[in-house]
């Protein structure tokens, strides 16, 4: 259903950035964000009707505006770990005894 919703939204001019669990991250300008949201919701509703034999799922919307960014709890934990590892590696790279392979 998510794949179909992504395809439908994309075909209708919505910039689909990524699927996120059971949702999609889409991009739109401030000037036409209402149209982008409506088109995106319609695509998800249509996909649910096709896949679920006419059953239509509810669609929630969360708007995130620059300079804020989308982040979920699991992703935040992952990126914190990666930043820690990179900081440790950066210290090793600058260490005189470190030689890259």
Our measurement of the distance from residue 42's CA atom to the centroid of its chain's CA atoms, rounded to an integer in Å, reads: 18
Cβ 64 vs Cβ 28: under 8 Å: no
Mean pLDDT of 74-89: 83
Q: Is the pLDDT of residue 39 over 90?
A: yes
Our measurement of the distance from residue 14's CA atom to the centroid of its chain's CA atoms, rounded to an integer in Å, reads: 13
pLDDT of residue 83: 84
Mean pLDDT of 33-53: 95
If you average pLDDT over every residue of the chain, what do you get? 86
- pLDDT bucket at 37, cuts 50 / 70 / 90: very high
What tens digit of pLDDT does each residue of 2-13 get?
999 999 999 999
Each domain of the chain, given as residue ranges in start order, spans 2-70, 71-101
């Amino acid at each position: 259903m998510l794949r179909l919703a992504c395809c439908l939204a994309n075909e209708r001019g919505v910039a689909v950035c990524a699927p996120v669990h059971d949702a999609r991250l889409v991009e739109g300008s401030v000037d036409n964000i209402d149209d982008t949201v409506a088109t995106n919701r319609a695509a998800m509703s249509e996909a649910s009707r096709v896949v679920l034999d006419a059953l239509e799922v509810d669609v929630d919307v969360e708007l995130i505006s620059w300079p804020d960014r989308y982040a979920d709890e699991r992703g935040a934990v992952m990126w914190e770990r990666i930043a820690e590892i990179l900081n440790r590696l950066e210290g090793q790279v600058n260490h005189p005894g470190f030689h890259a392979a």
